Amino acid sequence: MTAPSDYPSQPDCRDALETLYHYLDGELTDGRRQEIKHHLERCSPCLEAFDFEAELKMVIARHCRDRVPDHLRVRVVMALAEASRQESQSG
Ligand SMILES: [Zn+2]
């Protein structure tokens, strides 16, 4: 019996991934920001998701010089959720 350890499976992680959006948007308080930072430091799946989103936002910012549209945000959230769901099924 092996426990999968390389994808966000804990409620903690799902919460962290959702909070990433606010983190990237700068909508978090300093305290919340620290919490996310600590989680990312010890949770590589979330860190990878963070890197992905940070990169995506930079690309979008370069093209749009504006906030990420809500519909695009939703698509990214769905894509991330889908990715973790597929990974959890393959285990
Ligand atoms: Zn995590």
What's the pTM value of the predicted model, to 2 decimals?
0.48
- Enter the DSSP assignment of 66: S
Amino acid at 44: S
Environment of ion ligand 1 (residues, CB < 5 A): 8, 13, 16, 43, 46
pLDDT at 39: 87
Q: What is the mean pLDDT of the chain?
A: 74
Q: Is the pLDDT of residue 71 over 50?
A: yes
Burial pattern 9-21, b for ≥16 Cβ within 10 A else e, equals: beeebeebbebbb
For residue range 4-19, list pLDDT tens digits in order: 445 455 667 877 777 7
Question: How far apart are the CA of 28 and the centre of ligand 1, in A?
Answer: 18
CA distance 19 to 35: 10
Question: How far apart are the CA of 5 and the centre of ligand 1, in A?
Answer: 10
Question: How far apart are the CA of 47 and the centre of ligand 1, in A?
Answer: 7
